[in-house]
Structures are given as C-alpha cells and as structure tokens.
Amino acid sequence: MADLGCGLAADSLALASMDITVTAVEMDETTAACATVNLIPFPNATVVHSDATTVPLDGVDGVWLDPARRVTSTSGTKRIWDPEAFSPPLSFVESLAATGRAVGVKMGPGMPHESVPAGCEAQWVSVGGDVTEVALWFNSVRRPGIRRAALLLGPQGAAELTSAEDFDGGPAAPVGPAAGYLYEPDGAVIRAGLVADVALQLGGHLLDEHIAYICAPELVDTPFARAYKILEVMPYNVKALKAWVKENGITVLDIKKRGTSVTPEELRKQLFAGSKAAGKKAGQKTATLVLTRIGEDRVAISVEPV
C-alpha cells in the first residue's frame, strides 16, 4: 500500500502493524524525516520524500490518502472546504480509483453529498459523539451494496447503520407532533442522511421533514440517537419562557436547538436576567430546553435526558 501525504505516519504505522508493505510518501522534508523515525520499528515500511501526485505507484495494490484541508499564511491556518482545493485534490483521488486499485481517502465530515463521487462508499465516523471524518472507499475496499454509512465508536463498542440508496433516495419518515420521547440522532447519522432510517427503526416520526429531531411513543434503546422524555411543549416566547424558568425555580438551563437562528447563550442571559438564583450550586435545579421548528411554528420543548 501507499500512504500518500503520510504526515507523521500515524496511518502508515497502523498499516505496517498489520504486516502490510507500506510506502509512506510525504512532500515536506522535515515531516518526512519525522515519519522515517516513527517507522523505524517496521522493516516493511519505507518513507519517500516526494510529491504524492507524482510518485510512481508501480507494484502498489492499494492507496490511502488524508489530504491537507488547511492552508497556512502569516495570520495562521485556515480551513478550506472545496475538495478540489485540498492537497491532493479529490479529482486526483478519483483518477487513482479509475486505475482499479483499492483506494480509501479521509475527508472532512462536512463534505456535502453532491461532492461525494459516484461509485464509492461514503462512511461517516463518529467518536464519542463527535463526527470526526467521512471516509470514501473505492473498488475492492467498497463493501457491496453500501453507498453510505454511519459508524459510531464509543465506550460500548461500535455500531453502524448503512444504506444501499444514493443520497437522494432511501425511505421517507412520517411527520407528527412532539409527544412521548424525543430522539436526537448522532451527527454521523445526520451527515449520512440516515435520520429517516432511524425514525422508522424507532417506530417514530419526524417533527419536521427538514429537521433532524425524531419523536416516538415508546422509549427504545438505540446507539444511533440520544433519548429525552418530553415534559412540556410550549410556543417559543421569551417572556413566557422567562416566567417558566422563574416558576419552576430553574438555576441551570441546558439549551439545545435545531432549525432556528436563536443563540442559546444569548437566550440563557435573557431568561435569567434579574435572577439571583442562576448558576447557584446549592439546591440547583437543572432543566433542558429544546428549541426547534414544527412547520412554520417555533416551539420550546422541555425534556428530561434519559
């Protein structure tokens, strides 16, 4: 295998430890020297100081890439979003896949669906609830019958949800009221476009067809979403919510939102304005508020984490 743009060779270390013969390619001379030191324990790994887009790949069966997605200037580093501006660009990855080799590439998790090439598997990865990457797999490392997937890694192990459908396909979930239990899908599920699949697994429905909140009448254990018991559904009104906070003696308020432009930090200041109880440790009462939209109506849902 070739690890093109290996950096400090963390991925090459993993490959070499599996007894795979690895050619680690790095354009920066100092970084290539560090990679050489890191790979000293592995005689099956070689570092080449070269441009990843021009190095010969004779005898290489598979290629792994982790393109640079930041540019450095005098003012620091800046993230870039256009896959063609990555180093190397996505078109180069596709040209490697066109040779028939096994190709895998790590991309940023915010990669839009329309930028995902045809003919590959896109697997979004979440670690401890944080979406870290989307890996694109081509040819022999693409699993049959899988177009997109959400892989969740956490203390309980791994869980994965997959679909054979393209991004504009898949099942449709019904839309219904805020009642029973509210489920907040993992970010990888949302990125992979698998929210409707989870809703159907839970026997539930979406609050709004464009927003990734699910409601279901029963509590179902699932690794793909966090569950909350719905306590109260209120119209979004700052004055009314401030009265609700005071009447319930709430001192700590966790605010979650989706589908609304409200800034939780600013709203929290408004709701606790003039209150001396906010943030008190002794006898504190914690509440969770979910701000979202159902059709044209903005709502505030009081929930209790399960």
Residue 70, amino acid: R
At 190, is the secondary structure helix, strand, or coil?
A: helix
Torsion over CA of 165, 167, 170 and 173, rounded to 10 degrees?
160
Which pLDDT value is given to residue 116? Answer: 96
For residue 278, give the 3-state DSSP assignment: coil
For residue 42 the two structure tokens come to 């592995």
Q: How far apart are CA 28 and CA 21, in angstroms?
A: 22
Give the pLDDT confidence of 187-214 residue by residue, as tens digits.
999 999 999 999 999 999 999 999 999 9
The domain defined by 231-305 carries CATH number 3.40.50: no
pLDDT, tens only, 154-196: 998 999 999 999 999 989 999 999 999 999 999 999 999 999 9
Residue 84 has pLDDT above 70, yes or no: yes
Phi then psi for residue 227, to 5 deg, are -105, 145
Q: Write out the CATH class of domain 2-163.
A: alpha beta
Q: Which residue from 108, 202, 109 is spatially nearest to 150, judged by alpha carbons?
A: 109
Averaged over 28-33, what is the pLDDT?
96
Q: Read off the pLDDT band of 283 (50, 70, 90).
A: low
Q: What is the pLDDT of residues 35-52, one digit of tens each?
A: 999 999 999 999 999 999
Mean per-residue pLDDT, 93-119: 95
Confidence at residue 275, expressed as pLDDT on a 0 to 100 scale: 72
pLDDT tier at 75 (50, 70, 90 boundaries)? confident
Q: How confident is the model at residue 69 (pLDDT cuts 50, 70, 90)?
A: confident
pLDDT band, very low/low/confident/very high, at 282 (cuts 50, 70, 90): low
Q: What percent of the chain has pLDDT over 90?
A: 87
Confidence band, pLDDT 50/70/90 cuts, at residue 77: confident
pLDDT for the residue 83: 86
Residue 236: pLDDT band with limits 50, 70, 90: very high
Please report the pLDDT score of residue 87 as a whole number.
86
Mean pLDDT of the chain: 94
